[in-house]
């Protein structure tokens, strides 16, 4: 099985499975985010992909499905009915489920360093205009206003997704996510990109964002060392900060809030974007399907795991994680 190197809950589930099945152990290989995507593409192209693989659902998974590389999963095989339908939607194509949730829901929030904001006389921005004003004050203090790992690309898309939601509402993004190519021509898409460009030109992301890589912990470090004031990132960032800078986390200087509202936008400022879940999918060429299905059914987000960490993707459960 292949997954990302920050998936602690998967390591635990594999250990539990291996303890119960010493004659059919799972070998777990872990990768950095950007490296993983490329390695997975190459492995499938060479017919050397793992039996089970971690993924983000959506279009990337559907490409493998269309190529016949992934097996559909049924309720009887892995109890897909125990997962929240809205979460499963990202791994469902033509009415069939091709992945089970590997972790909980992961909202994206605006993290901030309280001490840095206070030193610049800035409060957590509630509106886009507040954010632009904060950018100028923070730059005057030689602080990067918004830490952004632009080298990794996907963190930039979090900003764009929020700006799109604030500009045109959730419906516009939903059309894009559904594969409607015409949705990209909606005026809110253009407007969201203009807002993102305005932030960049105002210096919101500093001068070196294109060289900042998330897998190396660079954007996270900018926040907890006080070199940056804020960062838009998923709730997994809290765990990263707690591990990399426990004293900063314990100090009470880490805060988080909602992404700013757009006063001229039609989106609901209470909306939160994020990952509904990541998924584990089954290679259609596996010779160990029975063992893989047993793991997916009995060890992934089971009763011992489902109530820990972020809000779980299973029905009838609540999470205990922070934030």
Predicted confidence (pLDDT) per residue in 76-129, tens digit = 999 888 888 888 988 999 999 999 998 878 899 999 999 999 999 999 999 999
The pLDDT assigned to 8 comes to 76
- Average pLDDT value for residue range 130-150: 98
The pLDDT assigned to 319 comes to 47
Q: By C-alpha distance, which of 110, 129, 138 is closest to 231? A: 110
The pLDDT assigned to 213 comes to 94
The pLDDT assigned to 145 comes to 99
Q: Whole-prediction pTM value?
A: 0.84
The pLDDT assigned to 303 comes to 58
Q: In sequence order, what are the residues at sequence separation of 6 or more whose Cβ sits closer than 8 angstroms to the Cβ of residue 96?
A: 72
The pLDDT assigned to 307 comes to 45
The pLDDT assigned to 315 comes to 63
> Taking 60 as the threshold, does the pLDDT of residue 243 lie above it?
yes
Q: Which domains does the chain have, with CATH numbers?
A: 2-104+276-298 (3.40.190.10), 106-257 (3.40.190.10)
- Average pLDDT value for residue range 284-293: 97
The pLDDT assigned to 7 comes to 78
With a pLDDT cut of 90, the percent of the chain lying above it is: 76
* 245-286 pLDDT per residue, tens: 999 999 999 999 999 999 889 999 999 998 888 999 999 999
* 295-321 pLDDT per residue, tens: 999 999 875 555 444 555 666 554 444
């Amino acid at each position: 099985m292949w997954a990302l190197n920050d998936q602690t809950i998967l390591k635990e589930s594999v250990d539990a499975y291996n303890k119960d099945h010493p004659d059919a152990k799972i070998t777990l290989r872990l990768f950095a985010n950007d490296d993983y995507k490329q390695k997975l593409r190459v492995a499938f192209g060479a017919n050397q992909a793992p039996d089970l693989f971690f993924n983000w659902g959506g279009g990337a998974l559907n490409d493998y499905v269309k190529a016949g590389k992934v097996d559909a999963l049924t309720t009887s095989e892995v109890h897909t009915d125990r997962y929240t339908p809205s979460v499963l939607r990202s791994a469902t194509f033509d009415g069939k489920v091709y992945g089970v949730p590997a972790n909980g829901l992961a909202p994206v929030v605006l993290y901030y360093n309280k001490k840095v904001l206070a030193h610049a006389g800035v409060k957590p921005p509630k509106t886009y205009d507040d954010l632009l004003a904060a950018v100028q004050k923070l730059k005057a203090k030689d602080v990067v206003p918004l830490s952004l790992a632009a080298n990794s690309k996907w963190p930039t898309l979090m900003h764009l997704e929020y700006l799109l939601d604030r500009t045109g509402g959730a419906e516009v993004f939903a059309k894009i996510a559904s594969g409607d190519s015409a949705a990209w021509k909606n005026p809110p898409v253009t407007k969201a990109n203009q807002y993102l460009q305005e932030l960049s030109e105002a210096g919101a992301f500093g001068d070196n964002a294109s060289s900042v890589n998330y897998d190396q912990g660079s954007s996270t470090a900018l926040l907890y060392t006080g070199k940056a004031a804020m960062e838009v990132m998923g709730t997994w960032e809290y765990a990263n900060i707690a591990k990399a800078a426990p004293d900063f986390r314990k100090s009470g200087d880490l805060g988080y809030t909602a992404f700013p509202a757009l006063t001229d936008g039609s989106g609901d400022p209470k909306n939160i974007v994020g990952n509904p879940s990541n998924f584990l999918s089954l290679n259609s060429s596996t010779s160990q399907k029975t063992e893989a299905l047993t793991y997916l059914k009995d060890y992934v987000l089971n009763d011992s795991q489902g109530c820990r960490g972020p809000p779980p993707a299973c029905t009838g459960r609540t999470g205990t994680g922070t934030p």
